Chains A and B, each alone.
Chain A
């Protein structure tokens, strides 16, 4: 299948290999086929939104990309190099970091400890290099324009948007070229949603490939470059944000507009 790519205003993104390419991924759970031949590409400096109704296969795709589920068939390639197996650590090592919906923030630890959770900086092998972690996490939050009083306050004292910022900072710290965000605005208010939007914009400016799984069409139209609609485990259609409308996306989600592939087949 072909992925339309009308991006002419961003030569940098155009020139590079796709940061991530999924080719014809199939995944079943018993008799339920969650993914039926899903393909996807995303380039550096591009924000791809994944939308779809419940049961469309979004969550499965997130878990496949983050290395939690293996695919039955199909290929996931990062910068052209296929991942040989499903393993969260391998996925991270190859360049995909995931911001999970539940954020995985430890409320009792301070921001710096949360940003470096599980991958602390060391001194003499075993000691925590707090000075460096504090300085670097402050640096990252500043670059993401996340406003917090100090990186030494406990994450439990933060607002939802600030916590989202900390979770994203952890992904950014790993400096992977691909960042996958699962419902980053689900629990947020208007102001905090705007803050996350700002973070996504700055990631895009840094040349990261961002995959955004999201329900909020308004947010998607404000921050994504392309929208890929999933329906019943298949790709219903891929649209450039600049060349589509909300009603077209909604009718793709509901199935009122036929699949692109079906149309091509009948033409």
Chain B
């Protein structure tokens, strides 16, 4: 057989006029502005903005700096675990144990601190306990092949029970000032909690979006088999994601104990749901592979703005969760819609390239 006829089967005039062949392949054909407007973070920012504008017309409290410091502080404590819940979801997993791991971290840190071992040791000990629970979660998900929802639901029950049993249900406190500084202190007029939250969220964002590790996480969530056959160490990465999530939840618990000046075994009940809600509201797909850490942080901010704002607006607090529920379902609906859009775009493109080449 001869391959000597080097002829292009595509008539040149047709293709170049449509521009399928001649586009620079490195350029994305969707303009930056359009991508920005289409992103979930944009919709979220608009929603927060509208709510705040509405609030300003209703209550002078909305213009109060102290209200905003409270809102941001609350948001931070959701945003830290939500950043890593987002990463777990993107990897195709799910971590429901956040609330219990948070209380385990809080109590460990409080106990360590009240034993006089210093704030650094206390935070480290608390965070390590969370990482340990994450390691166990990751192990059962990846080696025992038990679905993550069950494994982490199991540790949600077991860890809190262990915490309550080992503390006798009693709070630990009051805690020393070097420890509570990390929850109550103010640097340059900004609460330390908010600075901590910003640092953690920025690091989590860089890890997911800029590192090869982050890209591997997204590959895992997108197509586990493809990731495996491409030589990605899927088990190691999946386990590491649960470890990070556990560490982040426990660290948040330690910060919460520092903020309140004592650790209580009742911390964090139902926290995992708020955390996952923040991630999903921020555009993280529960089907895996898609999600952004800044989005999850904005989701946390929305939850905080809503719950604080509704109080400022004198709405009966029992209605807060009603609103949050609506927002959550709307966000998940938006995710489904976006995935659908993706395929419609694809169909359009295919049609265009057909026209160009036939």
Take A118-B231, A128-B212, A154-B342 as given contacts and tell me if A108 and B1 are in contact as well, using a CB distance cutoff of 8 Å. no
Q: Are B26 and A127 in contact (CB-based, < 8 A)?
A: no
A28 within 8 A of partner (CB): no
Q: Which residue on B lies nearest to A102, using beta carbons?
A: B225
Q: Are A128 and B29 in contact (CB-based, < 8 A)?
A: no
Take A118-B230, A122-B212, A128-B212 as given contacts and tell me if A150 and B225 are in contact as well, using a CB distance cutoff of 8 Å. no
Q: Which residues of A contact B9 (CB under 8 A)?
A: 194, 198
Chain B interface residue bracket vs A = 35 or more
Q: Are B211 and A152 in contact (CB-based, < 8 A)?
A: no
Q: Are A150 and B3 in contact (CB-based, < 8 A)?
A: no
Q: Which residues of A contact B223 (CB under 8 A)?
A: 104-108
B316 within 8 A of partner (CB): no
CA A194 to CA B3, docked complex, whole Å: 14
Q: Are A9 and B229 in contact (CB-based, < 8 A)?
A: no
Name which of B131-139, B251-259, B345-353 contacts chain A.
B345-353
Q: Which residues of A contact B27 (CB under 8 A)?
A: 150, 152
Q: Are A241 and B26 in contact (CB-based, < 8 A)?
A: no
Q: Are A106 and B219 in contact (CB-based, < 8 A)?
A: yes
Q: Which residue on A lies nearest to B15, using beta carbons?
A: A147
Within the complex, what minimum Cβ distance (angstroms) separates A225 from chain B?
Answer: 6
Within 216-235 of B, Cβ neighbours of A (below 8 Å) are at 218-219, 221-223, 225-227, 229-232
Q: Which residues of A contact B232 (CB under 8 A)?
A: 117-118
B318 within 8 A of partner (CB): no
B215 within 8 A of partner (CB): yes
- Among the listed B28, B229, B230, which residue makes an inter-chain contact with A152, where contact means beta carbons less than 8 Å apart? B28
- Among the listed B3, B210, B222, B229, which residue makes an inter-chain contact with A109, where contact means beta carbons less than 8 Å apart? B222
Name which of B17-25, B68-76, B152-160, B239-247 contacts chain A.
B17-25
Contact with B along A105-128 (1 / 0, CB 8 A): 111110001000111101000111
Q: Are B214 and A117 in contact (CB-based, < 8 A)?
A: no
Q: Which residues of A contact B28 (CB under 8 A)?
A: 150, 152-153
Q: Are B26 and A134 in contact (CB-based, < 8 A)?
A: yes
CA A103 to CA B229, docked complex, whole Å: 10
Take A152-B26, A204-B3 as given contacts and tell me if A100 and B229 are in contact as well, using a CB distance cutoff of 8 Å. yes
Take A104-B230, A119-B231, A135-B26 as given contacts and tell me if A109 and B353 are in contact as well, using a CB distance cutoff of 8 Å. no
Q: Which residues of B contact A104 (CB under 8 A)?
A: 223, 225-226, 229-230
CA A138 to CA B23, docked complex, whole Å: 11
CA A150 to CA B346, docked complex, whole Å: 12
Q: Which residues of B contact A222 (CB under 8 A)?
A: 1
Within 207-226 of A, Cβ neighbours of B (below 8 Å) are at 221-225
Within the complex, what minimum Cβ distance (angstroms) separates A45 from chain B?
Answer: 10
